[in-house]
A and B are shown apart, each in its own frame.
Chain A
């Protein structure tokens, strides 16, 4: 069930109505039931996967919790009798037992994800190798259908399990509560990837609906609809035209496609997140923010601290840091310092950890080489940028550009275009084709095309541009306003007439100008294929 459908709106109204009518203690149970009903719309047979993830994580976390309590109890009882070495050995043994449960559960769940998502990718590569080797044999593709949200809920649940392993908080004793954390419906389509300790207070509390929460939540949902239906779905027509007709749309059209895709992806993804966060907010459940005006970033590293924050922080907390400080990595660092010097020795573990993380980030986004290349290119740019930092600082000091407005603007635009270039690998979905299209920017640069009605050849009419230009300007205005704090709070301080006019205007814009219904391609959220 897509967010931007009348079916979802009626579903949500039904969930809210029953939630409000139920006694407080039953509300979280109703949210769990509603989440499973929501999941059934994507295919009832896929329920098995999310149930297995939830149940296996519950069992593993209970075992971890049990072993941790056993350890604490044993150490307390034998505080006086055990030597330091004995205590250390005991802790190590217990940690090893816990690690087995952790690894087993992670293997199961990441294994399910890997099989469903990457089997055909592996088969395609094997077939390619067989072809090169001259074999006529080709393996058949499995064509697994990805269960809804599997990339999101698997990561979210494994994050919970790792936190329990790290003794950040005790395991959740109620399996149904953990099931709700895993399957809560607003987060299934595009995330965010939440943390258990941030949600547990509110998710199971059955808080009553308040005017403030309902109002702010609805405003957020409406804004999400605006971004998705007025901007993203409309502009996607032009992006699709450019990327699916590569013989015709080269040169300047590649730049146009990059620019349009940046806006489309941003509007689509943040729109979906707005709806997810808005829905949760209605129930008094605070999802973590997933974006922080990423297009205002002045570097790629900063961009990744502001774009898809829940994913990048997941990789940082559960992959990058553990890998960087792991024993093998520390040993490697020691070895490198000894044999190749301090400078390289310090960097190799970080570079290696970064490459692993970015490879995984790439492959998380899609089971194809273009995503891997995209991930690794991001990594390369970040590492090169970090190494060049002293040079940049020298340059700033020499030219005294410092914090000037124009230099900051240059940094923002540079980051925007660099990310747009990298993102093109996602557009064309083929590494060779992407680089070929890059080359046409130089070899077939045809700027005059745009002035000869080129923009009207992309499937959009002038009315579409009449809608898009002010809509994107509004998007920019809201982002700029958001730097001073919550836009909704700022709006709520305005006179009531102004507020109602703004809400109604946005509502009408979605209703009348939205790219939905017969005649429009009702495309999936771009990120929902994850």
Chain B
């Protein structure tokens, strides 16, 4: 009896110690997670592009159309316009200087959540055959949820001086921000304001195109092997999933789109039985006016330009790809009504800021004094 009592007491003590250690470790982990959340940049008022990838996960994932690509998709196409005019549901899985392998992995990840009918890919990214900049890698990859697909994307994207582990534990990258924390970092530690409209970054300001210089001569116009390899993967992924892939060149006039590049895309599309649309050739039809429809002299369209382009493209999607009009579907209407309200509220707010400050202070625009 005595021995039994001793044994049970010992068991209890050990149990208590184990629980205490477990509690200590759990609290420590929680603190580290909290610190990581505090130290990561919030991308709400400055560089809102950084929030584009992560906002997708909050979505109800029922989209007939998915865009993948760089700023020429997230600035130039408006999903709300596609909805309002045609009832087409879409999402832009775009990000700043999104490279073709990143587009592939983002698409692959998207297909684990939903199966769209059409995928649109902006082909400008093919000009980059290798990883480019750590900053842009971060803007695209940090927003991705941790998964085997994200790890593949990191492996394909990382520069030589980047560490793989810092993408799994971003605190290893952003720890030095402790000396740069602002009120925004504390305000958005748990939840951030939505910055996009289904991946579209709205800008109502205008900076007209003044000159359109010719692109300088290149030594080699051929897109690299790595770029083509990933374009093939995107093509195959869509074919294997019964998705129509449309290759596009968005109507941004910078960076310069060479004739030689265009020819390669025409040839690729023909070879793979794909549609390729160069919107730069259709700007008159679309009605784009580069004196009013761009916020940075032709790099990106502003809201006006994006709505025109979306209106034009929406007709093609409806007439030629048969994308369904969901405006009479109650379930979709409930989701999209809120989006439309948010869209027009932001539009109003941006015009107000423009009037008050002369620039879009809270929307990532640079002050005219800089």
- Chain B, residues 166-186, CB within 8 Å of chain A (1/0): the string is 100001110110110000000
Indicate if the CB atoms of B175 and A500 lie closer than 8 Å.
Answer: no
Cα–Cα, bound, A496→B19 (Å):
14
Q: How far is the CA of A518 from the CA of B166 in the complex (A)?
A: 10
Contact check, B179 vs A517: say whether CB atoms are below 8 A apart: no
Q: How far is the CA of A513 from the CA of B31 in the complex (A)?
A: 15
Residues on the A chain within 8 Å of B162, using CB: 518
Q: Which residues of A contact B163 (CB under 8 A)?
A: 6, 517
Q: In the complex, which range does the number of interface residues on chain A fall in?
A: 10 to 19
From B24, B39, B173, B178, contact of A518 by CB (8 A):
B173
Q: Is the interface of B mostly helix, strand, loop or mixed?
A: helix
Q: Contact between A517 and B176 (Cβ–Cβ < 8 Å)?
A: yes
| B134 on the A face (CB < 8 A) | yes
**Residue B161, interface by CB 8 Å:** yes
A325–B236 alpha-carbon span in the complex (Å): 81
B165 at the interface (CB under 8 A from A): yes
A513 x B178 contact (CB < 8 A): yes
Contact of A6 among B24, B35, B161, B172 (CB under 8 A): B172
- 0/1 string, B14-46, CB within 8 A of A gives 1: 000000100010001001100100010000000
Docked-complex contact A517 and B166, CB < 8 angstroms: yes
In the complex, which residues of chain A have a beta carbon less than 8 angstroms from the beta carbon of B166? 517-518
CB-CB nearest in chain A for B163? A6
* A504 / chain B contacts, CB cutoff of 8 Å: 28, 31
A507 to B32, CA, bound (A): 10
- Choice from B20, B24, B35, B173 contacting A512 with Cβ under 8 Å: B35
For B39, the chain A residues whose CB sits under 8 A away are 512
Q: Mark A510-530, 1 if CB is under 8 A from B, else 0.
A: 011110111110000000000
Q: Does A463 sit within 8 A of B, measured CB to CB?
A: yes
Q: Are A512 and B28 in contact (CB under 8 A)?
A: no
**Contact indicator B172/A500 (Cβ below 8 Å):** no
Is there an interface contact between B175 and A518, defined as CB atoms closer than 8 Å?
no
A511 proximity list for chain B (CB < 8 A)? 32, 35, 171-172, 175
A250 to B31, CA, bound (A): 45
Interface set, chain A 170-219, CB cutoff 8 A to B: none
Task: Jot down 15 A-B pairs with beta carbons below 8 A, ordered by A.
Answer: A6-B165, A496-B20, A504-B28, A504-B31, A508-B35, A511-B35, A511-B172, A511-B175, A512-B175, A512-B178, A517-B166, A517-B175, A517-B176, A518-B134, A518-B173
A463-B178, A496-B20, A517-B173 are known contacts; what are 20 more A-B pairs with Cβ within 8 Å? A6-B163, A6-B165, A504-B28, A504-B31, A508-B31, A508-B32, A508-B35, A511-B35, A512-B35, A512-B171, A512-B175, A512-B178, A513-B175, A513-B178, A517-B163, A517-B175, A518-B134, A518-B162, A519-B176, A520-B176
Residues of B in contact with A (beta carbons under 8 Å apart): 20, 24, 28, 31-32, 35, 39, 134, 161-163, 165-166, 171-173, 175-176, 178-179
